[in-house]
Amino acid sequence: MFPSLVVLPIWIIVALVWPIVETLHALQTKSSERKVWLFYWLCYAAGTWLLYYFEWLIKIPFLILGFYMDIYYEAQIAVVFYLVFPKTRGIFLLQEHLESNASAIGVAASEKMKDMALVVRERLVDLNKRLH
């Protein structure tokens, strides 16, 4: 919807400059917000990786909406703005949610990893039998 000459500077300010300033402030004052901003940067790195590999999948609903208006990058800015804006500080809510459900998430993740490991092992054994 907006040209990239408008979206890119807003993205840089909202997703990078503002969190850098907040992180440096938290580090200088040695406040408890250091943990929150570390979590933000971990989420930023994970989100960057996720978008690098799976942006095509995330973009599908926006491609359908693209017939009417293209709001993919504006939606990204809105999500990041919600995470870092001082009034909403969605990153705090996200961190609290993940910390409160960490045990359940860990159990589910370990079960899925065990299932995947069994499937991979079976396929490797089957491939080994075919080769020999």
The predicted-structure confidence for 115-130, as pLDDT tens digits, reads as follows 999 999 999 999 999 9
pTM value is 0.76
The predicted-structure confidence for 43-95, as pLDDT tens digits, reads as follows 999 999 999 999 999 999 998 888 888 899 999 999 999 999 989 989 999 99
Distance of alpha carbon 120 from its chain centroid, rounded? 27
The predicted-structure confidence for 21-43, as pLDDT tens digits, reads as follows 999 999 999 988 899 999 999 99
Q: Is 26 left (phi over 0), alpha (psi -120 to 50) or beta?
A: alpha
Indicate if the pLDDT at residue 10 is higher than 90: yes
Distance of alpha carbon 48 from its chain centroid, rounded? 7
Alpha-carbon gap, residue 114 to 107, rounded angstroms: 11
Using an 8 Å Cβ cutoff, are 95 and 39 in contact? yes
